[in-house]
Amino acid sequence: MLTSPKPIAAVASLAALAFEPTLLRKLNQLGPRYTSYPTADRFSDVFGAEAYEQAVAGRRAMGARHALSLYLHIPFCDTVCYYCACNKVISKNLGKAAHYLTYLKREIAMQAALFQGMNRVEQLHFGGGTPTYLSDRQMSDLTAHLHQHFQFAPDQLGEYSIEVDPRTVTPKRIVTLRRQGFNRLSLGVQDFDHAVQKAVNRIQAEEDTLRIIDAARFAGFRSISIDLIYGLPKQSLTSIAQTLDKVIAAAPDRIAIYNYAHMPHLFKPQRRIAGDDLPTPASKIDMLFLCIRRLTEAGYIYIGMDHFARPEDDLAIAQRQGRLHRNFQGYSTHAEADLVSCGVSAISAVGASYSQNEKTLEAYYQRLDQQQLPIARGIKLSMDDLLRRLIIQRLMCHFELSLASIEMAHPVKFAAYFAKELAQLKLLETDGLLLLEDDWISVTMKGRLLIRNICMVFDRYLGTAKEPLRYSKTI
């Protein structure tokens, strides 16, 4: 079966997203963000270190050809931001980080031994927490340890990124990070408005942020990314518009604008946020529309979900070339790479498996003291999981799906295998979210903001959970 020509609607450039507040309110529901499929709430403690080692052995037996993506989780922060839902440890005791690093380096050595002979790294990301909680000396020691155990692609080929807190780093520290091998920088801003910052316990002067951006450009960082959040307490269309003005003037290469999900029953710091201070659902939709309109007018490409990038940025190029990927860091390049993650709570994706480390420091240390990889749970993907993961990835990253390509890669007849799903998609087609044709599913401009809803149709696990779902609203 040959693939028919791509529908004209699917190849049209993204000049603007169709925006219908009534439709967004109608379809706004709880749903996954699909940084993985199956999602992390489907992982099981039946999958442990032995199953992970088998997954790595399987990659070796297949003659693994692709470089690795490496993630390190540094969980420490010295203050708590009330909106935060990350796995973190709040402490001003720097000795805790020193103790953690002894174990982290032990895990890195164990992972490197597993991947011996296929351990070339082309992507590295330090997340947290606040990775720059580590001192210059600790960071130098850790990066040297990484280079001792893994092979790294040259600077001009590799993507080596780190998240920094502009409140706690200096321009000198930024220069040092570049010398330590990082070439991409991500800065948390959230909102420049002082009332909003006070409400979430994150006071961050605009001058500090701009100073760090200038230092990163001086030091030769290839890409600078800024994170914003809409839906925070005390936030308004006026405050977010002023923040957008300042961010656009700073001209970062990438911008991520996340929807604040208020779930105080799950995340204790959020209990310090007064519900009455939160914007209404209608106001949040207006904020989202404002962000998309302003950023696209400023020349940024809407990548999907909450990501924007300049046309010349690697993320936008990867999307144009069909190489865009989605993982636990959001949208990414290097779709073919296995993700090896080290640190407390970190999630790896190797071959047809996902695995997650222990979520508490105590359990993490205990596993390593027993000379075991600190894997607490995971999942081995079935053929059906792999098929649905591929479909969801393509829809999330490229807003279209060639049915013929699925049939060539998997022994299924799409119309028969997904008959129930196609019936559900027809209802979304009635709402104008997508076009169903003989060989293609094409997401419309109206549907791109509701891509999570479309992907949920292919999620066979939804509705089967025995416990309440931990998802945010799709808008």
What are the φ/ψ torsions at residue 68 (nearest 5 degrees)? -95, 155
How deeply is 2 buried, as exposed, middle or buried, from its count of CB atoms within 10 A (0-12, 13-18, 19+)?
exposed
According to DSSP, the residues that pair with 121 across neighbouring strands are 68, 152
Q: Which residues contact 9 (CB under 8 A, 6 or more apart)?
A: 435, 442, 444
- Token duo for residue 117: 């002979």
- Token duo for residue 451: 């891509």
Q: Which pLDDT score, from 0 to 100, does residue 29 have? A: 85
Helix axes 237-250, 206-219, angle to 10 degrees: 20
Secondary structure of residue 238 in the 3-state scheme = helix
The yes-or-no verdict on residue 6 having pLDDT over 60 is no
According to DSSP, the residues that pair with 390 across neighbouring strands are none
The yes-or-no verdict on residue 123 having pLDDT over 80 is yes
Q: What is the DSSP letter of 44?
A: B
- CA 271, 274, 276, 278 dihedral sign is negative
In sequence order, which ranges of 267-413 are alpha helices (DSSP H)? Answer: 281-297, 314-320, 361-369, 383-398, 403-409
CB 48 within 8 A of CB 312: no
Q: Which pLDDT score, from 0 to 100, does residue 21 have? A: 78
pLDDT band at 466 (very low <50, low <70, confident <90, very high): low
Domains delineated in the chain: 8-34+383-473 (1.10.10.920), 40-380 (3.80.30.20)
- Token duo for residue 430: 């009635």
Cα–Cα distance measured from residue 159 to residue 223, given in angstroms and rounded to the nearest whole number:
9
CB 114 within 8 A of CB 64: no
Q: Give the DSSP letter string of 420-473.
A: HHHHHHHHHHHTTSEEE-SSEEEE-TTTGGGHHHHHHTT-TTTT--SS---PEE
Q: Look up residue 375 and give its amino acid.
A: I
CB 114 within 8 A of CB 53: yes
Q: Which pLDDT score, from 0 to 100, does residue 4 have? A: 40
What are the φ/ψ torsions at residue 378 (nearest 5 degrees)? 175, -160
Q: What is the DSSP letter of 276?
A: G
**Would you list which residues are annotated within the binding site for [4Fe-4S] cluster?**
77, 81, 84
pLDDT band at 322 (very low <50, low <70, confident <90, very high): confident
Q: Which residues contact 268 (CB under 8 A, 6 or more apart)?
A: none
Q: Give the DSSP letter string of 141-201.
A: HHHHHHHHHSEE--TTT-EEEEEE-TTT--HHHHHHHHHTT--EEEEEEE---HHHHHHTT
For residues 392-399, average pLDDT? 94
The yes-or-no verdict on residue 203 having pLDDT over 90 is yes
According to DSSP, the residues that pair with 68 across neighbouring strands are 121, 338
Cα–Cα distance measured from residue 256 to residue 361, given in angstroms and rounded to the nearest whole number:
29
Please give the model's pTM, rounded to 2 decimal places: 0.91
Cα–Cα distance measured from residue 93 to residue 421, given in angstroms and rounded to the nearest whole number:
52
CA 196-205-82 angle, 5° bins: 40
**Would you list which residues are annotated within the binding site for S-adenosyl-L-methionine?**
71, 83-85, 128-130, 163, 190, 202, 227, 261, 347
Secondary structure of residue 306 in the 3-state scheme = coil
For residues 125-143, average pLDDT? 96
How deeply is 101 buried, as exposed, middle or buried, from its count of CB atoms within 10 A (0-12, 13-18, 19+)?
middle
The yes-or-no verdict on residue 2 having pLDDT over 70 is no
According to DSSP, the residues that pair with 379 across neighbouring strands are 354
Cα–Cα distance measured from residue 318 to residue 159, given in angstroms and rounded to the nearest whole number:
13
What's the mean pLDDT when you consider all of the chain? 91
Place of tokens 């609607």: 9
Residue 184 or residue 327, greater confidence = 184
Q: What is the DSSP letter of 6?
A: P
Place of tokens 């440890």: 89
For residues 292-309, average pLDDT? 93
Q: What is the pLDDT of residues 365-374, one digit of tens each?
A: 999 999 999 9
C-alpha dist (Å) from residue 471 to 83, 248, 348:
15, 30, 21
Q: Which pLDDT score, from 0 to 100, does residue 435 have? A: 96
Q: What is the pLDDT of residues 41-69, one digit of tens each?
A: 999 999 999 999 999 999 999 887 789 99
Q: Look up residue 152 and give its amino acid.
A: F
**Would you list which residues are annotated within the binding site?**
71, 77, 81, 83-85, 128-130, 163, 190, 202, 227, 261, 347
Residue 190 zone, left/alpha/beta (φ > 0; ψ -120 to 50; rest)? left
Q: What is the pLDDT of residues 414-450, one digit of tens each?
A: 999 999 999 999 999 999 999 999 999 999 988 998 9
Secondary structure of residue 90 in the 3-state scheme = strand
Helix axes 95-114, 136-149, angle to 10 degrees: 10
